[in-house]
Amino acid sequence: MKGKLTCPFCEYSEGLGPQPGPCPRCGTPLVYRRELPSRLPRLSGRGVWRYRPLLPDVAPVSLGEGGTPLVPSIRLGRELGIELRFKLEGANPTGSFKDRGASVLVSVLREFGLRKVADDSSGNAGAALAAYAAR
């Protein structure tokens, strides 16, 4: 998987591994960084994985998330004098935008060979993570 983990404060950097911890120098959570090409290729496909050039280079675990419709708001748009649309994220597999992140997270965990995941959630994030981890 391309990319590395970097500390946003002290610039410590390390390769990716299955159990990253906090920065060993200052204790700050590490951030995933990936060098991007100078010119992004044309995006294709649908959903969150159409942005593959910006995401970790892993095999996707997908339930068809993303690509949710834009629904026109005729009345409110007219009142405001603009063409207004709302993103209908409830059309995702578990009914939440959290499916997008769960898809990427579970894909990365699988790449590392991890088979279990835990999440402290009382709602949509937990439902999304459970659905994607079950794949």
What CATH number corresponds to the domain at position 10?
Answer: 2.20.28
Closest to 99 measured CA to CA, from 60, 70, 71, 73: 60
Spatial separation of the C-alpha atoms in residues 112 and 7, rounded to whole Å: 21
Q: Specify the residue for token string 């026109």.
A: 72
What pLDDT is stored for residue 15 in this prediction?
82
pLDDT band at 41 (very low <50, low <70, confident <90, very high): confident
Q: Whole-model pTM?
A: 0.81
Same domain, 6 and 65: no
One domain, residues 60 and 117? yes
pLDDT mean over 73-97 = 96
Q: Are residues 49 and 95 located together in one domain of the fold?
A: yes
Does residue 72 sit in the same domain as residue 106?
yes
63, 119: one domain:
yes
Mean pLDDT value across residues 69-94: 96
Total number of domains in the chain:
2
Tokens of 108: 């990365």
Task: Indicate whether 54 and 10 sit together in one domain.
Answer: no
Query: d(Cα 89, Cα 92) in Å, to the nearest integer?
Result: 6
* 47 and 27 within one domain: no
Task: Assess whether 52 and 78 both reside in one domain.
Answer: yes
- Residue 107 backbone dihedrals phi, psi, to 5 degrees: -60, -45
Residue position matching structure tokens 């120098």: 25
**pLDDT of residue 1 exceeding 70:** no
The pLDDT value given to residue 42:
85
The answer on 66 and 24 residing in a single domain is no
Judged on CB neighbours under 10 Å (0-12, 13-18, 19+), 124 is: middle
Name the residue range of residue 94's domain.
40-133
pLDDT of amino acid 84: 97
Mark whether 51 and 24 lie in a shared domain: no
* Co-location of 81 and 111 in the same domain: yes
Do 24 and 88 share a domain, yes or no?
no
Structure-block tokens of residue 100:
């997008």
**Contact 12/20 with Cβ under 8 angstroms?**
no
